[in-house]
């Protein structure tokens, strides 16, 4: 069930806690029911130990008192209560170790399964989700140690149950000695529970509402510490500005936390004072009743210890309840995350063609990004023949990249249809469709992996261990000599995060082009494939282009007209529409948008020269 943010905040109460606990318990039961059962049983049995020990100590003290006072006690009775006390103490200690052991075991299981499930689900979601700021807030909460928080939530729920069992068992013993303890307990527990509950709600809402600002703090840290951004930050002297923005947000967090922590200090101190006063009033009554021979020495001996345990159990139960409530922000967020479904969904049929020829047809395709009103593409119809090379040009924001992403079904069109070999791509399985595509994105991947694996990722099912084929592809993409010059050749670990060797933008782009050609796909889409390459390297790569693209339908997006002129046909996009179509020569003769863009490009080259 997905609620709006307002509904969540207004529902920060027992219903939300119980609903989250029920869902989390069901998930945990599904992951490892045996471990959860063992942990629950041991936790609850462990909770009975204080009451059992109090009962045994009472018997031990009374037996010793009877012997000392010569009232019929004997050593066998003393030995019995002593042995029972020792056994209960030992079991309580071992039980504590076992609870910790099972808690760690459960955390490891949850860490494995919950984190894996989060990654699996994220991989199923659409591009539009990751481009939504609200989803980024949700993802931020999901990434904040989700498995640990899930495990802590389960532990808090178990702690609530254990403390309730402990309280009930201790109250039964204490009330049998002094019934006034029930009145004192109610007068202390209810106001303190209300106080802590209000604080938990305040912390919950504070944490919920600051998530966007927390993302901003991470953003500032990344800009100040990432090797990709540090050069420009240094040259522009942006560090003081970014640090001041970071400090302002962190100071705001500190000030809000200070207010809450002061309330916790004063409220807890007041509770401790009143609780101590109330409990010791009853303790004094017990002492008087012992003096008056209404109670035994054993009664007063265990009353103090049991009363301290009860007070501790009461505070622990309240704190466990409020802690669990605070963790519901992450449990509810995780529920909401798992409830998200991709809009790019596969049909039950999942058509797969025996052979893909790479024919592309767009029928009256329009597309508007979610949350916006302006159409990026407007009623586009297009037919690309199998094996044809088509270039798409246009000004920035004309819709070029969006068009090819619709063909790759990273989005679904708002209206119209995209057909591959006469079949609507929405009728195909996504796995099959994506196997037919090879794509070089503007923002190409820079994987922290060896040079060989960076290329093999293009078709990793077949290429990871095929060194000969990897090298063949690298030669065609003019990357072989570059890779051979690296410290460990094809086994050089690239990137700064884990490796010791990084590449220039143009070198990374060569790797990306090689990766695209590694896949034996019917359709090749190149989005600004040579933007970071020098003209000489570009010429060498595209000298091999016909061989690289042989038998493939190729769609090329580029602002470099030397690259575009190699296409069989050129499409000109303007404001989401195809306004011109033809060869380079025909479009130049028309003197329209293409000719204007070409002339601007040539002037820029002349100025650079």
Q: What is the pLDDT of residues 494-538, one digit of tens each?
A: 987 777 788 888 888 889 888 888 888 889 888 877 666 676 776
What is residue 140's predicted lDDT score, i.e. its pLDDT?
Answer: 75
Mean pLDDT along residues 86-92: 89
Least reliable range by pLDDT among 233-237, 506-510, 590-594: 233-237
Name the segment(s) of the chain with CATH classification 1.20.1560.10: 5-339
DSSP annotation of 345 = -
Provide, rounded to the nearest whole percent, the portion of the chain with pLDDT above 90. 17
Which helix (H) or strand (E) element contains residue 91? helix 75-124
pLDDT at 414: 92
pLDDT of residue 1: 33
Alpha helices (runs of H) in 340-419, residue ranges in sequence order:
400-407
d(CA 553, CA 151): 51
Given a cut of 50, whether residue 220 has pLDDT beyond it is yes
Give the rounded percent of residues in the chain with a pLDDT score beyond 70: 92
Selection from 216-230, 364-378, 492-506, 546-560 with the highest mean pLDDT: 364-378
Q: Which of 199-208, 248-257, 350-359 has the lowest mean pLDDT?
A: 199-208
| pLDDT recorded at residue 512 | 87
Q: DSSP letter string over 2-20?
A: ---HHHHHHTTTHHHHHHH
pLDDT at 7 over 60: no
Contacts of 67 (CB under 8 A, 6+ apart): 73, 74, 75, 78
Adjacency order of strands within the sheet including 389-394: 437-440, 523-527, 553-557, 389-394, 569-574, 577-582
Alpha-carbon gap, residue 438 to 407, rounded angstroms: 12
Q: What would the mean pLDDT of 91-98 be, rounded to a whole number?
A: 88
Asked whether the predicted pLDDT for residue 306 surpasses 70, the reply is yes
Q: What is the pLDDT of residue 9?
A: 39
542-562 burial, b at 16+ Cβ within 10 Å, e below that, comes to beebeebbeebbbbbbbbbbe
Residue 208: pLDDT over 80: no
Angle at 97 between CA 92 and CA 101, to 5 degrees: 140
pLDDT band at 577 (very low <50, low <70, confident <90, very high): very high
Instruction: State whether residue 416 is helix, strand or coil.
Output: strand
What is the rounded average pLDDT of the residues 374-379?
A: 91
Most confident of 252-256, 394-398, 528-532: 252-256
- Local confidence band at 247 (pLDDT 50, 70, 90 cut-offs): very high
CA distance 133 to 213: 12
- Helix, strand, or coil here: 551? coil
Handedness of CA 72, 77, 81, 83 (dihedral sign): positive
Residue 544 has pLDDT above 90, yes or no: no
* pLDDT(5) > 70: no
Share of the chain residues as helix, strand and coil, in percent rounded to the nearest 5: 65, 10, 25
Helix (H, G, I), strand (E, B) or coil at 495: strand
Average pLDDT over residues 87-104: 88
The SS3 of residue 294 is coil
pLDDT confidence of residue 542: 67
pTM for the full predicted model: 0.71
353-436+522-609 has which fold?
Rossmann fold (3.40.50)
Whether the predicted pLDDT of 2 surpasses 60: no
pLDDT averaged over the chain?
83
Token pair belonging to 21: 């606990």
Most confident of 124-138, 239-253, 285-299: 239-253
Residue 12, pLDDT above cutoff 70? no
pLDDT (0 to 100) of residue 546 = 67
Question: How is residue 40 written in tokens?
Answer: 């629950």
Q: Across residues 42-46, what is the average pLDDT?
A: 90
User: Does position 53 have pLDDT exceeding 70, yes or no?
Assistant: yes
Q: Which CATH class is domain 446-520?
A: alpha beta
Give the pLDDT score at 3. Answer: 41
pLDDT, mean of residues 48-67: 83
Structure tokens at 296: 């035994």
Give the residue range(s) of CATH 3.40.50.300 domains in the chain: 353-436+522-609, 446-520
Report the Cα 268 to chain-centroid distance in Å.
34
Residues 6+ positions from 141 with CB-CB distance below 8 Å: 211, 329, 330, 333
Rounded CA gap, 329 and 20, in Å?
9
Q: Mean pLDDT over residues 255-279, rounded? A: 86
Burial class of residue 450 (count of CB atoms within 10 Å of its CB; 0-12, 13-18, 19+) = buried
Overall average pLDDT of the 14-23 stretch:
79
- The confidence score (pLDDT) of residue 76 equals 80
What confidence score (pLDDT) does residue 8 get?
44
CA distance 597 to 561: 9
For domain 5-339, give its CATH number from 3.40.190.150, 1.20.1560.10, 1.10.220.150, 3.40.50.2300: 1.20.1560.10
**What pLDDT does residue 571 have?**
93
Sheet containing strand 377-384, strands side by side: 377-384, 360-367, 415-420, 423-424
Q: Give yes or no for residue 304 having a pLDDT over 70.
A: yes
């Amino acid at each position: 069930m997905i609620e709006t943010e307002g509904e969540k905040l207004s529902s920060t109460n027992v219903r939300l806690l119980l609903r989250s606990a029920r869902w989390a318990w069901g998930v945990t039961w599904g992951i490892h029911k045996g471990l959860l059962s063992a942990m629950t049983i041991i936790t609850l049995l462990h909770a009975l130990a204080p009451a059992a020990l109090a009962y045994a100590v009472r018997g031990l003290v009374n037996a010793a008192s009877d012997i000392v006072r010569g009232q019929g006690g004997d050593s066998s009775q003393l030995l019995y209560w002593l042995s029972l006390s020792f056994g209960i103490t030992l079991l309580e200690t071992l039980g504590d170790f076992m609870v910790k052991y099972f808690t760690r075991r459960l955390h490891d299981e949850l860490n494995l399964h919950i984190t894996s499930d989060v990654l699996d689900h994220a991989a199923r979601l659409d591009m539009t989700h990751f481009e939504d700021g609200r989803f980024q807030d949700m993802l931020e909460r999901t990434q904040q140690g989700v498995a640990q928080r899930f495990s802590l939530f389960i532990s808090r729920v178990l702690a609530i149950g254990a403390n309730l069992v402990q309280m009930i068992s201790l109250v039964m013993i204490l009330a049998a000695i002094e019934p006034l303890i029930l009145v004192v307990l109610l007068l202390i527990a209810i106001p303190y529970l209300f106080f802590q509950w209000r604080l938990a709600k305040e912390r919950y809402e504070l944490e919920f509402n600051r998530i966007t600002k927390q993302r901003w703090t991470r953003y500032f840290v990344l800009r100040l510490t990432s090797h990709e951004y540090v050069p420009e930050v240094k040259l522009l002297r942006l560090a003081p500005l970014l640090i001041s923005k970071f400090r302002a947000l962190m100071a705001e967090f500190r000030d809000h936390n200070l207010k809450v922590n002061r309330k916790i200090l004063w409220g807890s101190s007041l509770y401790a004072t009143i609780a101590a006063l109330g409990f010791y009033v009853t303790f004094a009554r017990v002492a008087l009743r012992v003096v008056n021979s209404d109670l035994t020495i054993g009664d007063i001996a265990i009353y103090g210890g049991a009363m301290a345990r009860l007070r501790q159990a009461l505070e622990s139960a309240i704190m466990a309840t409020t802690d669990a409530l605070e963790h519901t922000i992450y449990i509810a967020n995780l529920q909401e995350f798992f409830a998200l479904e991709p809009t790019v969904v596969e049909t039950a049929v999942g058509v797969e063609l025996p052979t893909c020829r790479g024919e592309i047809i767009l029928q009256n395709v329009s597309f508007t990004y979610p949350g916006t009103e302006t159409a990026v593409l407007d009623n586009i119809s297009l037919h690309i023949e199998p094996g044809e090379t088509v270039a798409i040009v246009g000004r920035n924001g004309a819709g070029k990249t969006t068009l090819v992403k619709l063909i790759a079904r990273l989005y679904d069109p708002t209206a119209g249809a995209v057909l591959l070999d006469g079949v609507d791509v929405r009728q195909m399985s996504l796995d099959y469709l994506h196997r037919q595509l090879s794509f070089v994105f503007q923002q190409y991947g820079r994987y922290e992996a060896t040079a060989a694996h960076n290329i093999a990722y293009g078709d990793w099912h077949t290429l990871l261990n095929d060194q000969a084929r990897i090298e063949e592809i690298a030669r065609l993409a003019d990357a072989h000599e570059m890779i051979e010059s690296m410290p460990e050749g094809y086994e050089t670990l690239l990137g700064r995060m884990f490796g010791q060797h990084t590449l220039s933008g143009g070198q990374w782009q060569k790797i990306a082009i090689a990766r695209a050609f590694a896949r034996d796909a019917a359709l090749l889409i190149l989005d600004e494939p040579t933007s970071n390459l020098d003209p000489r390297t570009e010429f060498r790569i595209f000298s091999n282009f016909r061989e690289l693209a042989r038998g493939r339908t190729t769609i090329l997006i580029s602002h470099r007209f030397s690259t575009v002129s190699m296409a069989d046909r050129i499409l000109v996009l303007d404001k989401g529409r195809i306004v011109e179509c033809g060869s380079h020569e025909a479009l130049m003769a028309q003197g329209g948008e293409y000719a204007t863009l070409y002339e601007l490009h040539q002037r820029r080259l002349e100025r650079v020269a």
